[in-house]
Structure 1
Amino acid sequence: MHAWPASEVPALPGQGRDLRIHDTATGGPIALDPGPVARIYVCGITPYDATHIGHAATYNAFDLVQRVWLDTKRQVHYVQNVTDVDDPLLERADRDGLDWAALAEQETALFREDMTALRMLPPRHYIGAVEAIPGIVPLVERLRDLGAAYEIDGDIYFSVESDPHFGQVSHLDAAAMRLLSAERGGDPDRPGKKNPVDPMLWMAARDGEPSWDGGSLGRGRPGWHIECVAIALDHLGMGFDVQGGGSDLVFPHHEMGASHAQALTGEFPMAKAYVHAGMVALHGEKMSKSKGNLVFVSALRRDGVDPAAIRLALLAHHYRADWEWTDQVLQDAVTRLGHWRAAVSRPDGPPAEALVEEIREALANDLDAPAALAAVDRWAVLQEESGGTDTGAPGVVSRAVDALLGVAL
């Protein structure tokens, strides 16, 4: 599966700062010190509907992570999956009388268009669950051989008790885990399970649903969590720098994925940092495909909204915060974009070197994009009120905003 084209990232003078970021597993900030190649895995979409603002906010956060690392002169090895076979996709295709594979390809193509428009840097590897199945089957077989998996009526489950570190990503108690498992695709009440929250690794073939040859597992399809584990281990290995996604993935997805990988390899941890973006609400409730309260990036673009303004609307909120999308949020972003473009369109301006360092410091401090935006606002106000004599300043600001914030002026 191919990703989307990369926008050019301008080179900036000086050196970027190493990233300090909030780690869900430890509950506090940690300083990341990747080697020459920084490794990041971000969980991708289930393509049964278009990209909404909640999706965009999540991918914007991890785009900033990439940009901070690139500014330190590192290479970035970024991997993202597409869950192109799963119950929600099959249910949507059945409801609308569509071929599930065609629906997945259609929505994945639209996602690529949205990411390109928003100037999100693409992953090096963009992998669909279906194409990963040949690598998933041996992992499930290995977990079974290790005694970390068991069978119920042809379905293969992972035993969370097989990982001594289970629970160290989310730190939830058993009751909370059971509740979230039921809400997020699990089956805690199924008879025969060793632990109610044990997740499925391999679902035996069901009538009328797609299935693949699973070797000794029989025909079927993979569970949600093992998909990401197979892709991450194949392309990044254990101990990569950042596992990322929305905060709704902390449990069960990232907790289970970590345990799968740790049981498979005997190593800990799967990732050095577990980083999660907040949820975006509309009309008082979290944007959700199941609820239908969505604002689609593609719809905003069709209505003529500049993608740079959409991006600024996302950047105006700290990535870990839960916030609400409103017409005013978008209008504020449109206004800000106009001010910034007017400021950099002049032939000269106030010196910009200190501003670049302010943006760098803000982003290095747990991706504090609102602080970075405020710094650019101050420069733009100074430009409007008194101007300056530095003929290179507007260009420096334009390149810095592009390179570090992904906003083209």
Structure 2
Amino acid sequence: MHTPPFRLAQPSHLKLSGDELAGTGLRVADPCCTPAKVSFSNTKRRARLAELDGQLHCSIIGTCLSTHELRKLVPKFTGLDRRDASDLEIHHSAVELAIDGGAGAKALHKLLDEHYAAAIRRFDKAADDVELLKLWDEALKSGEIPPAYWALMTHPCATLHVRQKAFGELHMLSHLVGAANRADIRRLVALEAENAELKEKVERQQSRLQEISTQRDAAIAALNEQIAQLTAVATRQTTADPSDLEAEISRLRDKLADSDQRVALHTSRREAAEQRTLQEQGAALALRKSRDQALAQLLLVQNECDALERATVDAGDNSNGAQTRQASLDSVRGKRIVYVGGRPGSNAALKRLVEAAGGDFVVHDGGVEDRKGLLAAALPGADIVVFPVDCVDHDSMNTLKRVCERHQIDYHPLRTASVASFVELVDRLRPEHLAQLGNSPPSAFCLRHG
């Protein structure tokens, strides 16, 4: 504050006119910041705006009236354009109107009184400058500065000291507000950036929500259509003729009965097929077993035929005077063979073959003509005991088995009582086979008890 808010006394020799000041190079003081031409009287009434010091007008108008309010009022008393004039031009013109004290000053004073009537009534209760400053301090603490400033400046008890104090505090407060505004501007820039980011995020979310809403509406429409279709089907089923339903039920029952009959028929056929399959499997197994037996018997008969053929060839060679011995009957040379059972014709032929080969052939018919008691006596001296299983009784067979095992004599059953079966056995009992027969296991018969 370069100039105090009160009128300075000037000596008469320093009072110069405007032209004289221009000649000296000094600038004429701006009415906004120069003392007022009039001073208010000391009567106990509220001071008018034009009566206040000119330096107070700037702070009063700038603090207590907004630019919007000034733009509506100032152009009525000046030649300024409401839209094109700057805020500084509006403010400067308002200060000039207040200093001039004309109709413009009265309009400004009336506007201020209307705005701050409540504060004026509250400050009117102050009886002296002490109470006035107390109310001012309370206004500073509460932040209600514009109404308190106008009420204090026009109060009847407002002295020069009171106005200076209020003006100075308001002046310093403007500096603090400016510094705070700079920090607020920085925060405002950061908040604007954050606000832009949040707006972009909100727009993305709105777009996503719109997309989800569209999908939801489509799904709801599809479900509604499906519900309508199902409702139509249910309605058709509900409104169907009962006779048609009974006919349908009867048809389904007949179809079910027919299906049951078919199932029963196929079940019986399946069971019969399973039984036939089991029978066929049994028959196939029996045929396979019979075939195996036939093959084994065929092989045995083939061996018998081969052995008989060799023996016949050897016998023919001997009858022609050949000096070769019968190689097929070499295994019976020097052996005593007991033959139990058989038929008389084949037994005689066998006896001639064995004796021709150099062996001893003893025949026992198994009790047909020979006594069975002679069987046990004939067996102990034998080297080999032979009996055909198709021409011997079981008693004789059991007796010879028991006696042979007791005396450790080899016994061999024959398939038949034919010459071929005997010749095949003799062929198998050649020396290499007899070596194996000599290692037979010990008899299981007891020598005392049989």
**TM-score after normalising by structure 1:** 0.21
Larger relative contact order (C-alpha < 8 A, sep ≥ 6)?
Answer: 1
**TM-score after normalising by structure 2:** 0.20
Structure 1 or 2, whichever has the larger Rg, is 2
Structure with bigger strand share is 1
